[in-house]
Structure 1
Amino acid sequence: MASRVILFFIIIAVAAGCASSLGGDTLTDVLNITAVGKQPGICSKCICKDGKVDCSSKGLTKFFPQHKWAALKNFRPTIVDMSNNSFERITLMAELPIEVLNLSRCGIQAVEFAAFRPLRNMRVLDLSHNKLRYTPELIYMDVLNLAYNDLHTLFDMGVFIKLKQLTELDLSGNPLENTELRVFDSGWGSTLKILRLRSCQLTKIPRYFLGHFVNLERLDLSDNHLTRIPEDLNKVENLLYLNLNQNPIRELNIDTVVYWTIRGLAYILLKLKELHLSNMPILTEIGPGALGYLESLEKLHLSFNPQLRHISATALTRPAKNGEDLVGPMVKELYMKSNALSKVYPQLLSRWDLLTAIDVSGNPFRCDCETQWMVDVLVPIVDKLKPNASEAMVCSEPEQMRGFTMRYVHEVNRTMRCVYASNKNGAVVIKSLIGALLAVPIMAAVILLLKCGILALKRATNSDQ
């Protein structure tokens, strides 16, 4: 027994000596060498398993030096997650088969030149939610996330030119200046399929900018300061998804969506399948034909627009090729929740029965003969897709209908009357009629007074003679 105790202390002493010879690695580092998938250094502080190095939220205050990355050579990690730590600078890494590298939320302010160059297999790099003011040197990858840093410019570095295979780029949350987007004028961008520019304080999209992304499929321009649809969208012919939420666009009509060119009318976004126009603070109207040329549209999001009072009955239609009929896209999902709509026109969609999802709740509907079709036709469709959903379709006017749900009106089989006095136009008409009726006796009285005055004047004249 005593010999075993002595042997144990000898092993500890040898291990401690090895630790000091390895440049300061702890005793735990050395003992972990024998564990499956473990290496000294990094894997003593992180979890190394199944080709992944998980260092997330480990309280790290300094990025690992190159020699410690090199110690992972035999482990051959393909995924490294170092998110939610706290180190300001990224230094040179070692040659490893890393494919996914997550460095988000670490307070990073700088990346050493060529720090990622040894990672020739890297496909995904996440540097989001840091404090970068300049874009680091980049060569390889398919997906790059630089969202929510402090990038004011992309022009000086020209780093994106080298990313010949990039398919997804996220620049959201950076205070980009409109003029700085010209970095892309170098012919780069033909491989990009997803571009996110959310919350970038953009007041416009510079002309010719979008024209570089001929294969772009998804574009997010939400939460900016755009006042109209970007003109160059007609150059993004393969776009399938467009998000324009939270932009101060006042109205959509045929002039703001479809643009004239020297070749004639340019029909834009013919392949677009999903459009988001929600949470727009001053959007008031969608005019005739405004969305009619989106012939492939399947999902339309038009919700939480507090001033959206009118959507034209022909907003989703366009002239057919014969020039006589109107045609429109076969929309499958329609979301028009919590706007200021008093009614929805039956002509808005050609086939309401083909919908797979619909939500028009939270609008101040006027329940009269013009919305009778909603009670008779739309309520059954809504409830079929989602049981009892029509309970949220509530009448706001006229006063005698206020508070009733359209579901209830449908169940009692009530036919609603045409009531015009409940709206402003009706009030104006009634006031005009009252004014006209009052004007008749007033004019008669004036004429009578005039006659009396004339007669009195004649009598006075005759008496003087």
Structure 2
Amino acid sequence: MLLLIVFSLILSVISDPNVPPFCDKCACVNDDSNQFVVTCTKDVSSFMFDKASWIDAADNKPYSYSKVWIQNSPILTLKEQFPVSNLIELSLANNSIVSISSDVFSNLQNMQMLDLSYNNIEILHPDAFNGQYLEGDWNPLRSLVKLYLAHNRIHSLDKDIFEHADRIELLSLSHNPLKILDQSTAIAITSLVYLKNLDLSYTGLSSLPAAFLHTPKKLIFLDLSGNQFTGIPDTLGDAHSLETLYFNNNPMVNLTNKNGFPVISTLKYLHLSSMPNLVNISKESLSNLVNLTEFYCFNNPKLSYIDRDAFSSRRDGAEYKTWPPIKKLFLQNNKLASMDMEVVLNWKDLVALDLTENAWTCECENQWMIDELMPIYLQLDENKAKALKCEAPIEMASLTFYDVYQKQTTMRCLDLYGHRPERDGVLLVGILAGVLITIPLVLFIIYAYQRHWFGLFDNSPAGFSRQFYKRSVSTSEDAYL
């Protein structure tokens, strides 16, 4: 009986005219709004552009697709137009696409997200994102707000490629071999006046064009990670609304006030992690970020120094220094041995902190971390506070900062030349023992000299006679024997 019920349900679904054709060969889920989310992981290139797959012949209306995800179809050249559809999201990632012709997406007037990542796209036709041409005028793809072109082979973009998709807010060009932003590509990107999120990570860039960020006034997120920057691009100072910057994994060595950040008064979230060559963050290199609230700087294997005035500065000859209002500070897994208390204005204002996995020294330069920071750290994150280890000196390497804090220990200081007097204990004991032995011995020798004991040091005639007599007696005894 149960099998009969299940079989009848399957037949009803198959015979249901409201179930779209894509559901015959792809996975379909009917969402809460009675629209279908379609996921195709097999080759559907043979019927992907068929009108019957998209339009219900009974009423000549589009099937209710909300999201269509097509993968693993050897499309190569995307040149046929998609039939009319009301879908919201279309993903064509992982399909070996090499080129995209004109007007392909013009019938998808409700499409908000288009994902073309992980293909082999080298050529994008200048009219690839055209809308419909109706009554002598273009109807732009104004619904399109998210465009993913990551992990392709794009070297350049036509300057007019986004002419009919001018409402794009998110553009990802990550992992494309751009190398440089030529004039055409720069014009294409800066034409997106509504752009809020731009991903240029891992594109081989070492510089940005002048005034590149002047036009996209709404840009709040920028990812420049994994490139070849050896300094911070000056054009970042042209940004109007930038709040989040990813600058991870760039080959910078020293961040100074000369190659550091220009004034970006809107920046709140900065990521400077996984920098393989970064050694120093020097004075005032970050001081122009006056509203910085979160600083992520971890997994930098050579970072050993952060200047006490890296964030702070005296502006316009002011009597007092000013700091940005940092709330979250992540400095884990670097090579920091010490840090000045004045790096942050008020450690009590932090809501998140991670200082673990560094080469911290338990010496007096870090005494403030025991006395001032540890009580704060224990309240923020007890586990991380207790995990803060002493890496030096070797005598304290088995301890944690929490151990030292509990014992209320005052840590010793190195001398002017960085010597380690605690290692000289054996030598000092040896010297003391030698002095204690030598002084009585010297006094004894002096006394013996004065008393002419053993005939030593006696230059008098009697002393000479005694020495001669001893030698004569010895000679006679030898002759007798």
TM-score normalized by structure 1? 0.78
Which residue of the partner structure matches residue 310 of structure 2? 315
Q: Deviations over 1:307-359 (max 9, x none)?
A: 11110011110214661100111111000011111111110111101111100
Which residue of the partner structure matches residue 473 of structure 2? none
User: What SS does the aligned partner of 2:68 have?
Assistant: strand
AA matched with 1:153: S
Q: Deviations over 1:140-170 (max 9, x none)?
A: 2111000001111214x63123321111100
| Separation in structure 2 between the aligned mates of residue 347 and residue 303 of structure 1, nearest angstrom | 20
1:83/1:381 CA distance change after superposition, 3 Å: farther
Which residue of the partner structure matches residue 426 of structure 1? 418
Deviation at 1:61, TM superposition (A): 4.9
| Separation in structure 2 between the aligned mates of residue 383 and residue 36 of structure 1, nearest angstrom | 63
Does residue 1:237 correspond to 2:240, yes or no? Answer: yes
The structure having more radius of gyration, on CA atoms, is: 2
| Separation in structure 2 between the aligned mates of residue 52 and residue 420 of structure 1, nearest angstrom | 73
* Counterpart pick for 1:138 among 129, 148, 154: 129
Q: What pairs with 1:388-399 in structure 2 (closer than 5 Å)?
A: 388-399=383-394
CA contact (8 A) 2:214 2:240 kept: no
CA contact (8 A) 2:156 2:184 kept: no
Which residue of the partner structure matches residue 34 of structure 1? 15
1:179/1:258 CA distance change after superposition, 3 Å: closer
Quick check: 172-181 or 42-51, which moved more? 42-51
| Separation in structure 2 between the aligned mates of residue 374 and residue 43 of structure 1, nearest angstrom | 62
Which residue of the partner structure matches residue 71 of structure 1? 55
* Counterpart pick for 1:332 among 323, 327, 330: 327
CA contact (8 A) 1:42 1:68 kept: no
| Separation in structure 2 between the aligned mates of residue 135 and residue 67 of structure 1, nearest angstrom | 24
AA matched with 2:171: L
Quick check: 215-224 or 400-409, which moved more? 400-409
CA contact (8 A) 2:38 2:65 kept: no
Which residue of the partner structure matches residue 208 of structure 1? 211
* Counterpart pick for 2:402 among 407, 411, 427: 407
CA contact (8 A) 1:43 1:53 kept: no
User: What SS does the aligned partner of 1:379 have?
Assistant: helix
1:48/1:342 CA distance change after superposition, 3 Å: closer
Which residue of the partner structure matches residue 104 of structure 1? 93
1:167/1:225 CA distance change after superposition, 3 Å: same
| Separation in structure 2 between the aligned mates of residue 84 and residue 148 of structure 1, nearest angstrom | 15
Deviation at 1:138, TM superposition (A): 0.9
Deviation at 1:208, TM superposition (A): 2.6
TM-score normalized by structure 2? 0.76
Does residue 1:60 correspond to 2:52, yes or no? Answer: no
CA contact (8 A) 1:248 1:282 kept: yes
* Counterpart pick for 1:296 among 282, 291, 296: 291
1:63/1:290 CA distance change after superposition, 3 Å: farther
* Counterpart pick for 1:255 among 258, 261, 266: 258
AA matched with 1:34: S
Deviation at 1:389, TM superposition (A): 1.2
Which residue of the partner structure matches residue 162 of structure 1? 164
Does residue 1:246 correspond to 2:249, yes or no? Answer: yes
| Separation in structure 1 between the aligned mates of residue 155 and residue 216 of structure 2, nearest angstrom | 21
CA contact (8 A) 1:391 1:405 kept: yes
User: What SS does the aligned partner of 2:202 have?
Assistant: coil
| Separation in structure 1 between the aligned mates of residue 185 and residue 209 of structure 2, nearest angstrom | 11
* Counterpart pick for 2:374 among 366, 375, 379: 379
CA contact (8 A) 1:37 1:48 kept: no
Q: Deviations over 1:96-123 (max 9, x none)?
A: 1122111112222233421100111111
Which residue of the partner structure matches residue 358 of structure 2? 363
Q: Give the paired residue count.
A: 388
User: What SS does the aligned partner of 1:326 have?
Assistant: coil
Deviation at 1:373, TM superposition (A): 0.7
Q: Deviations over 1:57-113 (max 9, x none)?
A: 234354612323442534332222223544334321111112211111222223342
Which residue of the partner structure matches residue 23 of structure 2? 43
| Separation in structure 1 between the aligned mates of residue 54 and residue 46 of structure 2, nearest angstrom | 17
CA contact (8 A) 2:176 2:203 kept: yes
| Separation in structure 1 between the aligned mates of residue 326 and residue 47 of structure 2, nearest angstrom | 51
User: What SS does the aligned partner of 1:411 have?
Assistant: helix
1:150/1:419 CA distance change after superposition, 3 Å: same
1:204/1:320 CA distance change after superposition, 3 Å: closer
Which residue of the partner structure matches residue 411 of structure 2? 416
1:319/1:129 CA distance change after superposition, 3 Å: same
Q: Deviations over 1:212-248 (max 9, x none)?
A: 3222100000001111101100110210000000001
AA matched with 2:413: C
Q: Which runs of 5+ in 2 are unaligned?
A: 1-9, 131-140, 422-481
Deviation >4 Å, runs of 4+: 30-33
Q: Which runs of 5+ in 1 are unaligned?
A: 1-27, 260-267, 430-465
| Separation in structure 2 between the aligned mates of residue 48 and residue 400 of structure 1, nearest angstrom | 63
| Separation in structure 1 between the aligned mates of residue 261 and residue 414 of structure 2, nearest angstrom | 37
Deviation at 1:211, TM superposition (A): 2.4
Quick check: 224-233 or 85-94, which moved more? 85-94
| Separation in structure 2 between the aligned mates of residue 48 and residue 333 of structure 1, nearest angstrom | 41
CA contact (8 A) 1:375 1:410 kept: yes
| Separation in structure 1 between the aligned mates of residue 268 and residue 72 of structure 2, nearest angstrom | 36
1:415/1:36 CA distance change after superposition, 3 Å: farther
Q: Deviations over 1:411-453 (max 9, x none)?
A: 11111011248xxx52599xxxxxxxxxxxxxxxxxxxxxxxx
| Separation in structure 1 between the aligned mates of residue 322 and residue 246 of structure 2, nearest angstrom | 24
Which residue of the partner structure matches residue 177 of structure 2? 175
Quick check: 192-201 or 73-82, which moved more? 73-82
1:205/1:62 CA distance change after superposition, 3 Å: farther
